[in-house]
Chain A
Amino acid sequence: MGGYGDVQMIDENGVRADGRGPGDIRPITIETGVVPVADGSCRMTWGTNEAIVAVYGPMEAHPRKIQRQDRAVLDVAYNMAPFSTTDRMRPGFNRRSREVSKVTQDALESVVLLELYPRSKIRVSIEIVSAEAGTRCVGLTAASVALADAGIPMTDLVVSVASGKINDVVVCDLNKEEDNYGEADLPMGIMPNSGELVFLQMDGDLSQDEFKQAWKYNMDAAQEIHKLMVEALNGGDSQ
């Protein structure tokens, strides 16, 4: 994290540059069935982030060497479209997208009941078509909705949200400027029904008290976002 203290992003009353309070998240919309040819899909907008996730499978796992006799394999790919960022993103994998794909896969493997589909493959394609900040959280959250939309059994959905620190104040759900100039970032992947975690990263500088506050903000936001996910899956916004 940069930690440029001279960029003022929150005032003395705790109002952030975009008008939010410290614990407020950006506006979120969730829609299912947005990739008609997929088995399950989800479009999630979160601030000016937009992720489109398609799930295919369970289907035949090939080549055969990737098959597992006792469970399905999950194939998760996170990618940013070339027009998703201010400066054009060159197409293709890079180290960042590989890491995000891996931790997202690790998170989803923790909730999907893979043992129900031995020798098969479930493919999860996460495409970020517009990036602001927190795209890995949007991608993971949307992926769990798309898996549910595909009817893949899971122990719980996953809500992913990040809190961080700007101008020495702990705030929830960093926007682009806050992410660029903030002092810390703590993204978590939460199972909303149990409060357990399947994904955790952090970078920056947080005291023990700040860390506890950021953790709490994420837990509270997860409950709020979970309601929107359930609503979308119950046909609220779905097509």
Chain B
Amino acid sequence: MLNIGGLKQGVVIDHIKAGGAMEIYRYLNLEKLDCSVAIIKNAKSKKMGKKDIIKIEGPLTIDLEVLGVLDHTLTINIIKNDEIVEKKTLTLPELVTNIIKCKNPRCITAAEQGLPHKFKLTNRENRVYRCVYCEQKFKG
């Protein structure tokens, strides 16, 4: 495997479905962070065959809950002092608020900017989230 240096402090987002790293990169707005970010695509995986990995250096204040909505198979490792101090496996939250946005131009959220963007999980198996207002399916 391509060798990327270890992390002293930061987050490793592992087990991303192969090809999904850029989607997560965009949703976390990582391009706006002033820290090192490594994206590893198509890394070999015993469990998945191929996977993507993102390594982010430095303390993170990003809400990582969004990732369960985008890819429920991924894992999150929190690194401190060169060690994994926390291993998170995301579950799909029943309701997500102000994490993803409704893109339906006919939705009331498009007209009233002050409304929170809320999505509910309507099909766990297929990871379907729908806007609570217009019921439009969320497409990443």
Q: Tell whether A pairs with B.
A: no
A-side residues, CB < 8 A to B, are none
B-side residues, CB < 8 A to A, are none
